[in-house]
Chain A
């Protein structure tokens, strides 16, 4: 850090140590100890049913992640992008969406996909290598996973501009007013496309929420390598509000995202939500976090586990009984079974079918290549 000392504030002063609590502007409704706190701007009166629902969603989302990670270890998936630790950020954001809202995800939004009604099994195809997104994006208003970092923030902005032209923004009709949410990570905030998306969204007042899960690490690069100021403060420079929310607090994430989406739906333009969280696993199953970060950091963040804190709150306030946990456990097991069996049964794509997807209609050129390849394959039949 010494090379920065003569320029502006000390980085440690800006960010705090990496075990930081997120700083004074962090919106929080539930502390890591499971205590309900209130916020003057972003409070929400959660019913017991809502709270149980959010807990259930996080538990099932973690199960999806754990099962998929295990499937990768068993060789059933080529790779998996884990979300361990980010359940609250995703479920809070996902549950704030209305059916007409559209999601543009990166490749780690398994919890948001689940909220949008995408069968978790469908997510595995990309990682198994049988497809590149096995769901119809327009069926659930959940876009295909995007591997190129930040590219989807522009798609989200353009889609939001389309919504403006379709007259589904600021009508006052809650069933009609719509918004878009673009998910990305702290690493993506360095990409040109993300910054261009901010400019387009601001310039056209597009109904889009930029939802950054700052999980502190872009593969092995720490947040300090992406920015010298807290990310949410960047929004101001683009001309729209930025909010930092405790991404391990599902109540706060829900309340803040809901407000940001509502602002967009009403025609008041974009906003930026920085969900301050931590990726407890690896970036993907191919990397080894012990090479680039200290175990102390992980241990510290384990104390902030998004599921545990809500569990404490639910128990302490008598909102759950043992039957609830037993039922949820059974449901999680069933989900695990669905993923294990379903994954192995995912059919490999047929090589000849793939020629048909390059364009909306087959061209003569590609048809000729397909036919030639089909004849070549056929030449092996009966040869052994």
Chain B
């Protein structure tokens, strides 16, 4: 069969969903427009045609309803995979996610499992109107009972979605929407995937550590490339999992480099960067040459798209932060 093909992130996710549905007939897809249209980003393209309307369910336009009915489906033994159309539309479902999805296992003292995957296309950079470019990850990572992961590339998209679906706990699955159709990568379907809930060094370096996830991984890699031309070797870690955090590779790296910059598209205040900085400070205090610096969005609502490039952390702002860590 198909091996070693070049695919986009959208294709990787589509193939991963298809594989998960083939492997387990309890897997269902639910969401607005996921059926005939194949989703607004076409991630579920062709799946309803092949698996039928009972397994790829076009939902009424009601996010709380989508998540709440998925809870019932999960209680009945199904493994629902929900698509929230855009990040900013997850808020109407927030109560069901944090009060029901996240707490059912705890409330039942482990008697009930909640194997639900909530897919959220997240982040900006696509020129959208408001509510279509948000980064709500910290809200979910702050909620006990939820696991939160973010893929950044086509190969991870393919494997991580399958692993999330097979996992018995609820997973908030963040997909960097501006990467969906951006770059291609080679997928070997026979390879052994990285385990879910692990972070990974995606570029080795010695001088400073840059932590990123989702859309900012690409930004961080570009920054590392640019820094290398000036003789600075940045190590880039793709966190991949935001809750639980896989701190092993992070701490090991920072102990070696002594410097760390965290970058994400979400607001800096109380964001993932704050948590990472706190943990690194607690565990690497004597190795640090400079405080952990954060490069993220300003603490204001997502701006009109004509100025979003000024708002989003870019290569220059990451490099500027790297410069500042060396100034200590």
Point out the residue from B59, B77, B96, B145 that lies within 8 Å of A193, measured CB to CB: B96
Question: What's the Cα separation between A192 and B62 when bound, in Å?
Answer: 9
B249 within 8 A of A: no
With both chains docked as a complex, state the minimum distance between the C-beta of A185 and any C-beta of chain B, in angstroms. 18
Contacts of B108 in A (CB 8 A): 132-133, 136-137, 144, 357
A197 near B145: Cβ-Cβ < 8 Å: no
B306 within 8 A of A: no
B105 near A358: Cβ-Cβ < 8 Å: yes
A148 near B95: Cβ-Cβ < 8 Å: yes
State whether A364 and B244 are in contact (beta carbons under 8 Å apart), knowing that A161-B73, A359-B145 are contacts in the complex: yes
Residue tally, chain B, CB below 8 Å to A: 43
Contacts of A357 in B (CB 8 A): 105-106, 108-110
Question: What's the Cα separation between A137 and B105 when bound, in Å?
Answer: 12
B88 within 8 A of A: no
* Minimal Cβ-Cβ distance residue in B for A353: B109
Point out the residue from A164, A203, A360, A365 that lies within 8 Å of B244, measured CB to CB: A365
Contacts of B78 in A (CB 8 A): 162, 165
Segment at the B interface, from A48-56, A150-158, A169-177, A266-274: A150-158
Beta-carbon contacts of A125-158 to B below 8 Å, as 1s and 0s?
A: 0000001110011100001101010010111111
A286 within 8 A of B: no
B99 near A158: Cβ-Cβ < 8 Å: no
With both chains docked as a complex, state the minimum distance between the C-beta of B80 and any C-beta of chain A, in angstroms. 8
Question: What's the Cα separation between A166 and B54 when bound, in Å?
Answer: 11
B72 near A360: Cβ-Cβ < 8 Å: no
Q: Which of B65-88 contact A (CB under 8 A)?
A: 65, 67-78, 80
B113 within 8 A of A: yes
B75 near A137: Cβ-Cβ < 8 Å: yes
Question: What's the Cα separation between A161 and B92 when bound, in Å?
Answer: 22
State whether A161 and B72 are in contact (beta carbons under 8 Å apart), knowing that A136-B108, A137-B108 are contacts in the complex: yes
A155 near B100: Cβ-Cβ < 8 Å: yes
A360 near B69: Cβ-Cβ < 8 Å: no
* Minimal Cβ-Cβ distance residue in B for A364: B244
Question: What's the Cα separation between A361 and B105 when bound, in Å?
Answer: 10
A35 within 8 A of B: no
Residue tally, chain A, CB below 8 Å to B: 43
Point out the residue from A153, A159, A197, A366 that lies within 8 Å of B76, measured CB to CB: A159
B95 near A200: Cβ-Cβ < 8 Å: no
Question: What's the Cα separation between A357 and B80 when bound, in Å?
Answer: 21
Q: List 18 A-B contacts (CB under 8 A).
A: A144-B104, A144-B112, A151-B95, A154-B96, A158-B72, A158-B75, A158-B80, A161-B72, A162-B72, A164-B54, A196-B68, A197-B69, A358-B106, A358-B144, A359-B145, A360-B105, A360-B168, A360-B169
* Minimal Cβ-Cβ distance residue in B for A349: B109
A158 near B62: Cβ-Cβ < 8 Å: no
Residues of B within 8 A of A (CB): 28, 54, 59-60, 62, 64-65, 67-78, 80, 92, 95-96, 99-100, 104-113, 144-145, 147, 168-169, 197, 244-245
Residues of A within 8 A of B (CB): 104, 131-133, 136-138, 143-144, 146, 148, 151, 153-166, 192-193, 196-197, 199-200, 203, 356-361, 363-366
State whether A193 and B72 are in contact (beta carbons under 8 Å apart), knowing that A137-B111, A358-B106 are contacts in the complex: no
B168 near A361: Cβ-Cβ < 8 Å: yes
Point out the residue from B60, B92, B96, B197 that lies within 8 Å of A203, measured CB to CB: B60
B69 near A157: Cβ-Cβ < 8 Å: yes
B71 near A158: Cβ-Cβ < 8 Å: yes
Question: What's the Cα separation between A48 and B72 when bound, in Å?
Answer: 38
B54 near A165: Cβ-Cβ < 8 Å: yes
A144 near B145: Cβ-Cβ < 8 Å: no
Name 18 extra pairs, CB < 8 A, besides A161-B73, A197-B65, A364-B244.
A133-B107, A136-B108, A137-B75, A137-B111, A144-B108, A144-B112, A153-B68, A154-B64, A154-B69, A155-B72, A158-B73, A192-B64, A192-B92, A193-B68, A196-B60, A199-B65, A200-B59, A203-B60
Contacts of A161 in B (CB 8 A): 69, 72-73
Question: What's the Cα separation between A206 and B92 when bound, in Å?
Answer: 23
B109 near A131: Cβ-Cβ < 8 Å: yes
Contacts of B110 in A (CB 8 A): 356-357, 360
* Minimal Cβ-Cβ distance residue in A for B169: A359
Contacts of A131 in B (CB 8 A): 109
A359 near B64: Cβ-Cβ < 8 Å: no
State whether A154 and B71 are in contact (beta carbons under 8 Å apart), knowing that A137-B111, A200-B62, A365-B244 are contacts in the complex: yes
Contacts of B111 in A (CB 8 A): 136-138
With both chains docked as a complex, state the minimum distance between the C-beta of A171 and any C-beta of chain B, in angstroms. 16
Question: What's the Cα separation between A256 and B325 when bound, in Å?
Answer: 72
Contacts of A165 in B (CB 8 A): 28, 54, 78
